[in-house]
Amino acid sequence: DVKVTQSSRYLVKRTGEKVFLECVQDMDHENMFWYRQDPGLGLRLIYFSYDVKMKEKGDIPEGYSVSREKKERFSLILESASTNQTSMYLCASSLRVGSGNTIYFGEGSWLTVV
Amino acid sequence: GENVEQHPSTLSVQEGDSAVIKCTYSDSASNYFPWYKQELGKRPQLIIDIRSNVGEKKDQRIAVTLNKTAKHFSLHITETQPEDSAVYFCAATYRGSTLGRLYFGRGTQLTVWP
């Protein structure tokens, strides 16, 4: 059973703070993703990575960065948190080769920026 | 990139009735179409998928149909039950997609009334 684990389920941070969201998967997946979920806007891709130290911008990368130093771990970084980054963040992973590979999601991290 | 539109955004049905959610996509090269279900407070999970070489796929009470000519695909749930209440996301990916990235619709909130 694939497991994608997000270390923090609920966080409250102050405006301007640096925020780290951590994600670990245990299935040796090459691809990892960070999505943001807001009501009525669906799942919007922030960044993804297809290999260690590799990253690609998604649709809404502004205000975020990522780090992938190990294959199983993908971190989302908010350099200076702002209130408009209050949201639910979902990490996901999948095998790389070809299309049609199932994406597995973590449980999500609820971030509130005050 | 691909653009996926999903309708309706909300859907209420009586228990036992059928529910249909429709999605359209823009890129004729898309060849894989999964559907994810997200129950309240939980992670999205794959419930069914279809590839472009198949017109219909069924799994018990759920089915997905694909019309490649019209570039739309639909989720059908028959004999709905209260536990079908959730947000449903359609998605598409295509051969040119960067390493298996999925493009999601905005989601449909399905409510099944007892």
Q: Does B25 touch chain A (CB under 8 A)?
A: no
Bigger pLDDT: A79 vs B97: A79
Distance of CA A63 to the CA centre of its chain: 13
The pLDDT > 90 percentage for chain A reads: 78
Closest CA to B6 of B85, B103, B101: B103
Q: Residue A97: its pLDDT value, please?
A: 57
Token duo for residue A43: 């799942």
The residue in chain B having the minimum alpha-carbon distance to the alpha carbon of residue A89 is B43
Q: Which of A46, A97, A103 to mutate to test the interface with B (most CBs of B within 10 A)?
A: A103
CA-closest candidate to residue B74, choices B30, B22, B114: B22
Q: Locate A111 and state its tokens.
A: 């971030």
Query: Residue A79 has which token pair?
Result: 């350099």
What is residue B60's three-state secondary structure? Answer: coil
CA atoms lying within 13 Å on the CB side of residue A16: 0
Percent of chain A having pLDDT more than 70? 95
Tell whether B109 lies on the interface with A, counting CB pairs under 8 A: no
Q: Residue B53 — very low, low, confident or very high, per pLDDT cuts 50/70/90? A: confident
Distance CA A69, CA B22 (A): 40
Mutate to test the interface with A, among B6, B43, B66 (most CBs of A within 10 A): B43
Average pLDDT score over chain B: 93
